[in-house]
Structure formats: structure tokens, C-alpha cells
Amino acid sequence: MARQLQITLPEDTMQLLDRWLVSSDYPEKEYNNLINEAIKLYIMEPQRNYLKQQLKERAIVRAERDLNLAQDWFSPEEYLW
């Protein structure tokens, strides 16, 4: 279900939206769709960045363990060759 919201944007923001809609290959050239997607991306970006940072930190913490496991795995194989 969609809800209606009335907003007022500065003229320069409206000009920016107009230029982008005209020049882009955005499939649905409507303010509603563009603003909806922009808000979703804006809100989700910090969440994505947080998850990326968490993955990086955890990988660094586990790096030594993972390296040891890999070395243990490949050691017997080296003896076979």
C-alpha cells in the first residue's frame, strides 16, 4: 500500500531532478519512483557500510586461524607429490 506525502523542495533540487530524469535512462521517468529509490539507497547505504566493515574486521581476526587451517590442509598433499 502506498502512502501519500507532500513535500517542498528547493528550486535547485527540482532542477537537478529534472536534469537527471531527462538525461538518464532511468526506466520510469517519474519523481515518485526516483525519490523512492533515492531514499531507499540513502537509508540503506550506512547499513551496507557497517556490514562491510564488520566482514573486514572479522576476516582480519580470523586470518591467522584460516592460514593455519590452509597450511594444515595442504601439508599432507605436498608429501604425496
pTM above 0.75, yes or no: no
What count of Cα atoms within 13 Å lies in the side-chain half-sphere of residue 59?
6
pLDDT (tens digit, 0 to 9) for every residue of the chain, 81 residues total?
889 999 999 999 999 998 988 887 776 778 888 888 899 999 999 999 999 999 999 999 999 898 888 887 776 656 665
Q: What is the pLDDT of residues 31-54, one digit of tens each?
A: 888 888 899 999 999 999 999 999
Q: What is the mean pLDDT of the chain?
A: 86
- Domain map (residue ranges) of the chain: 30-80
* % of the chain beyond a pLDDT of 90: 47
Cell 529509490 found at: 37
Q: What Cα–Cα distance (Å) separates residue 55 from each residue in 61, 63, 72?
A: 10, 12, 24
Say how many residues make up the chain: 81
